[in-house]
Amino acid sequence: MASSFPVGACVVLQNLVGAAQYNDKNGIVKSKISQNGRQEVYVFGVNKSMAIKPANMRYLPRELSSLSVPEMKGVLTASGSSTEEELSGMEKDTLKGMVAEVTTSPEELAKLIAKANEPSADIPTPRSSRSTAQASPPNISTSQLRQGAERMSSMTPDQLRQQAATMRAMGAATLRATNPAMA
């Protein structure tokens, strides 16, 4: 059995027999693997969520030249070759060279980006009951805010549209777990 894909991973559907019309369609993984061995995938272009076996998915390849600075940093940290602190303040060309030393395979780059962007298990889930007291603001440091702003400013309009589509495709609970400030 194929291993599961991280939540938020961009994938391409393949080898579907009963729904062959969806082969080669791009989507985003919305859930972890379920008891029936499938993951929920939102399929772009048809605006539909489907339960897909991991064996019927592959990572959507990414070329090194298409990566943003935050994505390159994510690849380097996910591969274990560097820490966020070591990468702070590095130029894009330097990061590109470091990523090229790790891998230039579009499939491997996509896999490392998905791993880097996977929501961590230690993110608290939203409270189920609403309190009348005002909730305390999330613990976000100045450097985290700066990094987020840097990521946004380095994105192309197409990347921003893709990010917006990704966020619209995510379930509310996943979106809140990924970004507690949006809860």
Position 156 scores a pLDDT of 82
Looking at residue 45, its pLDDT comes to 84
Q: End-to-end CA distance of the chain, in Å?
A: 35
- Identify the bridge partners of residue 52 per DSSP, sorted by sequence position: 39
Is the distance from CB of 33 to CB of 53 less than 8 angstroms? no
Q: Is the pLDDT of residue 134 over 50?
A: no
Q: How many residues does the chain have?
A: 183
Considering the chain, what is the average pLDDT of its residues? 81
Whole-angstrom Cα distance, residue 27 to residue 30? 9
Contacts of 83 (CB under 8 A, 6+ apart): 77
What does the pLDDT read at residue 128? Answer: 37
Which segment of 61-65, 131-135, 161-165, 174-178 scores lowest on mean pLDDT? 131-135
Count Cβ atoms below 10 Å from residue 27 Cβ, excluding itself.
25
pLDDT of residue 139: 58
- Cα–Cα dist 140/145, whole Å: 7
Contacts of 46 (CB under 8 A, 6+ apart): 22, 25
* Residues 3 and 57 sit within 8 Å (Cβ to Cβ): no
Q: Which residues, including other chains, have CB under 8 Å from residue 69's CB and lie 6 or more apart?
A: 92, 95, 150, 151, 154
- For residue 119, what pLDDT is reported? 76
Q: pLDDT tens digits, residue range 81-124? A: 888 888 888 899 999 999 999 998 999 999 998 888 887 665 44
Q: What is the pLDDT of residue 135?
A: 41
Which stretch of 39-53, 54-68, 86-100, 150-164 has the lowest confidence by average pLDDT?
A: 150-164
What number is the average pLDDT over the span 115-135?
A: 54
Q: Which residues contact 135 (CB under 8 A, 6 or more apart)?
A: 127
- pLDDT the model gives residue 131: 40
* Bigger pLDDT: 123 vs 180: 180
pLDDT surpasses 70 at 178: no
Q: What is the pLDDT of residues 18-47, one digit of tens each?
A: 999 999 999 999 999 999 999 999 999 888
- For 136-145, the pLDDT digits (tens) are 345 566 666 7
